[in-house]
Amino acid sequence: MDVRSTLARNARQFPDKQAVCFENHSYTYKQLNDEVNKIASGLLTHHVGKGEKIGVLMKNSDQFMIVFYAIMKIGAIAVPINFRLTAREIQYIVEDADISVLFFDEAYVPLVRQITENNPNIKLRICASDQAYENIQTIHDIRVQNVLEPNVEVAESDDAEILYTSGTTGNPKGALFDHHRILYVAFTSAIMMKIDPADKLLHVAPLFHSAQLNLFMITGTFLGSTQIIHQDFHPAHVLQAIEQYKISLFFAVPTMYNFLLQVSNYETYDLSSVKRCGYGAAPMPTALLKKVMHLFKHDQFYNMCGLTEAGPGGVLLLPEEHKTKMGAGGKAMLCTEVKVVNEWGEDAAPYEVGEFIIQSEMVMKEYYKNPEETRRTLRDGWLYTGDLAIIDEDGYITLVDRKKDMIISGGENIYSTEVEQVLYQSPDVLEATVIGLPDEIWGEKVVAIVVAKEGKSLEVEKLKTFCRQHLASHKVPTEFIKENFIPRNASGKILKYRLREALQTGESSS
């Protein structure tokens, strides 16, 4: 089996079932498959073939999904690109991934001209609109009327995706996946989150990110579920869509859940259709999780804690486990082995901080064109994540920090997530993150960046007093910086390295 065949099978088995809805566009599974085949056949007509790298610089839309599956149909390799990156960062990915064809939204025409002008590897630039531009093809130009399945052999072992890491520590790296690995992610997600064809899924997190793409869009298509796509995240629109479409499964990053609670009349929406909620990509503060459970009026929440290189995969905390282990990352996902190891590679003792490592069928093949980083990350069949974690006596793993984000002050190790959990309990704090900055006396000092809730003010001494009630004295931030927002990447992870750089150079993140 391969990723492309799942869509064709659904078109045969239930052709009239609603597959996708985006704005005023709706497709049955037959209509979706036909549209995908028209684009796939068009690519073949333009001599784009198996194994070529095809970039997708597009926001969430029906066209994103059609383009993605058209790439799968011809055995090419999809490279979804974060549209929020700078021109330099996008150009780096386009060149690093050896992209020869680039699909993009009309809004990015000037950007695409700029970054591909001197790139001899680019043979097709395709705008996802019918507006004509010089030296740029359109979807209309590519589309043909052939709805037959493309005559291309695709095996499970063929490469299918290059997903670029979030780049929280610098240039992103391209994690390479074949069809086998991607389908394992879909199987695991379906079984562990109890997703089935009757479900209605809402996509609000970016589809270029591995969680929304692999865990949910590909899984939903594999099962034949109905999928509603939003181009951007607007909290009130999400609540409206849940009520209108009777969404049954919802996934979002913690920041998105937090913003749902900021909608002034959020309690007036009927969210009773949602039976299961997933969260991940960043830690969910316990105080926030309890409020979100109250919003949805159920406790069927899944904490999905993984990383791009693992599919994304790692550990999962099931709803029933939240009752006693809320705040923990969870235990190994299906078909996955996980461990916490010390610096010698030995199993860490309970509550001893070590590195979180993963072994599974879902782990990437390699970093594309980066053998050195591949050897450093994939060792003896294990993926070394660079995340610091603890494991308790019951085998539940909790991430405490990135290796590079751990703060060492006066010889003491301080894990930022512990301090952040406390700050989120403050009634005045909307968002918070904690970093270490150089200090002449202590080596590093603990610095908190905080955002106030609407109508609230943040007083430094009041925050310090609050922290002293819950933390050892050396963990209490010595400095609080008030900002209007905290910079994050598309997956919701805070860009701590950018905060450190900005604060050390005297700039503001706002």
Structural domain spans, the chain: 26-154, 192-402, 406-504
What are residue 259's DSSP bridge partners? none
Cα–Cα dist 381/215, whole Å: 23
Query: Which residues are registered as beta bridge partners of 449?
Result: 433, 481
Q: pLDDT tens digits, residue range 197-251?
A: 999 999 999 999 999 999 999 999 999 999 999 999 999 999 999 999 999 999 9
The single-letter code of the amino acid at 364 is M
Query: Which residues, including other chains, have CB under 8 Å from residue 131's CB and lie 6 or more apart?
Result: 106, 138
Residue 280 confidence class, pLDDT cut points 50, 70, 90: confident
Query: Does domain 192-402 fall into CATH 3.40.50.12780?
Result: yes
One fold for 192-402 and 406-504: no
Percent of the chain with pLDDT over 70: 97
Q: Taking residues 421-432, what's their average pLDDT?
A: 92
pLDDT of residue 386: 86
Q: How far apart are the first and last CA of the chain?
A: 48
Q: How far is CA 46 from CA 40, 43, 144, in A?
A: 10, 5, 11
pLDDT digit string, tens, across residues 97-110: 999 999 999 999 99
Q: Which fold has domain 26-154?
A: Rossmann fold (3.40.50)
Provide the CATH topology of domain 406-504.
GMP Synthetase; Chain A, domain 3 (3.30.300)
Pairing label, strands 124-127, 137-138:
parallel
Strands (E), 324-458: 331-332, 336-341, 354-360, 366-367, 378-379, 382-391, 397-402, 407-409, 412-414, 429-439, 443-452
Q: What is the pLDDT of residues 119-151, one digit of tens each?
A: 999 999 999 988 888 889 999 999 999 999 999
Helix (H) or strand (E) holding 422: helix 416-423
Structure tokens at 416: 């930022």
Indicate the length of the chain as a whole number.
510
Q: Has residue 377 got a pLDDT over 60?
A: yes
pLDDT for 510: 41
